[in-house]
Amino acid sequence: MDKQDALNEQAILIIGTSAMVLMAFAIVFFIFLYQRKLLNRNLENQKIQDLLQQQEVQTAYALLEGQDKERKRIASELHDNLGSILVTLNMYSDSLQTKTELEDIKNISSRISNVSRTANEEVRKISHSLDSGLLKHFGLEAAISQLMEAVEMSKKIKIELDVHLENHIANELGLQIYRIIQELVNNTLKHANCSKIRLELNQIDNGWSIIYHDNGKGFNLTEVKRGMGLSNIERRTDKLGGELKMESSSRRGSTFILDLPRPT
């Protein structure tokens, strides 16, 4: 019996010690797994940052290229249309100086008047094309389209984009709006784990309205730590004198509604 007891005691001690060592290994393994998960998350965030930066550089290049093409087009129109009209005007002016007969002077003056009217019409057309469509909001609308396109292609997220801008947006305001949308997208990619993003940017009577929605896992508005992303959005909205409303739940995702007034 004593021998049996001694054996039992040894067995208990060995099993007990082994259990402790096993638990120690399990805890170390858990810490290792957790740190690896954090590292993967940081790498993923870095990829998102790189994607957004790359897309911004591409947008900048596309914008410069677009502006360059537009300038060439305008230069070509100025040279071909207005240039030839001014040459004709110059010829009539030179010719006027050599005429002495009243009838000839009246004739050439009338032609100068007609050509000047034509030149005025051409300047009006060129000015109108400068002020219209493409160049007016080439920056903001194109930048937003390119951003959303990049997200859709690389992150396999369905994008619904609805942008309606009628009048010109000043560069600084356009840039602030773009940065707000960029932060919203950034937050979604990092935290939401969603399959769909919807963005509406509309011009309203007194300014602009942005409605951004993702169908992700949402967040607790009172408990979430105000990271740089949310703080930046709030700060930019305040700076523009706008209002920001947030709604978020695990079932319905997150919705951000921004109302930005027209600058006075």
Partner 1 sequence: MKVEDIEGFVANISVFSPVLPLAIAGILIARKRLDKNMWPIVVMLVVSLFSDQFAKWLAKTYQNNMPASHLWGFLSALISFWFFCLIMPKSKRLIMVLGISFLVLYTINSTFNETIFTFNAQAKVVQGLCFIVMAFWYFFDVYRSEDIPALEKNGIFWAVVAIFIYYSGALFTQLLYTRIVSSMNGVWIVHNLFNITKNLLFGVALWTSRTH
Measure CA 2 to chain center: 81
State the minimum distance, in angstroms, from the CB of residue 196 to partner 1. Answer: 23
Q: Which two tokens stand for residue 72?
A: 């060439």
State the minimum distance, in angstroms, from the CB of residue 198 to partner 1. Answer: 27
Please identify which residue in 9, 131, 162, 243 interacts with partner 1, judged by CB under 8 A: 9
Q: Considering the rule CB under 8 A, would residue 221 count as an interface residue with partner 1?
A: no
State the minimum distance, in angstroms, from the CB of residue 31 to partner 1. Answer: 5
Pick 34 or 61: Cβ nearer partner 1: 34
Instruction: Check if the beta carbon of residue 185 is closer than 8 Å to that of residue 197.
Output: yes
CA distance 59 to 63: 6
Instruction: Check if the beta carbon of residue 192 is closer than 8 Å to that of residue 213.
Output: no
Instruction: Please give the torsion angle defined by the CA atoms of residues 177, 43, 58 and 227, in that order, rounded to the nearest 10 degrees.
Output: 10
User: Which DSSP string corresponds to 75-120?
Assistant: HHHIIIIIIHHHHHHHHHHHHHHH--SHHHHHHHHHHHHHHHHHHH
Please identify which residue in 27, 43, 153, 228 interacts with partner 1, judged by CB under 8 A: 27
The 196-204 sheet, strands edge to edge: 158-164, 196-204, 207-214, 253-261, 243-249
Nearest to 185 by CA among 56, 45, 52: 52
Q: Considering the rule CB under 8 A, would residue 13 count as an interface residue with partner 1?
A: yes
DSSP secondary structure code for residue 179 in this structure: H
State the minimum distance, in angstroms, from the CB of residue 227 to partner 1. Answer: 12
Pick 15 or 64: Cβ nearer partner 1: 15
Residues between 40 and 79 that touch partner 1 (CB under 8 A): 41
For Cα atoms 211, 216, 221, give the angle at the middle one, nearest 5 degrees. 70
Give the binding range for partner 1 (CB under 8 A) out of 34-42, 67-75, 80-88, 137-145: 34-42
| Residues binding partner 1: number (CB under 8 A) | 24
Q: Considering the rule CB under 8 A, would residue 10 count as an interface residue with partner 1?
A: yes
Q: Which two tokens stand for residue 149?
A: 């396109």
Q: Considering the rule CB under 8 A, would residue 228 count as an interface residue with partner 1?
A: no
Query: Which amino acid belongs to residue 50?
Result: D
Q: Considering the rule CB under 8 A, would residue 39 count as an interface residue with partner 1?
A: no
Query: Which amino acid belongs to residue 239?
Result: K
State the minimum distance, in angstroms, from the CB of residue 190 to partner 1. Answer: 11
State the minimum distance, in angstroms, from the CB of residue 21 to partner 1. Answer: 11
Classified as helix, coil or strand, 193 is coil
Give the binding range for partner 1 (CB under 8 A) out of 29-37, 155-163, 179-187, 203-211: 29-37
Q: Considering the rule CB under 8 A, would residue 37 count as an interface residue with partner 1?
A: yes
Q: Considering the rule CB under 8 A, would residue 5 count as an interface residue with partner 1?
A: yes
Q: Considering the rule CB under 8 A, would residue 17 count as an interface residue with partner 1?
A: yes
Q: Which residues bind partner 1 (CB under 8 A)?
A: 1, 5-6, 8-13, 15-17, 19-20, 23, 27, 30-31, 33-35, 37-38, 41
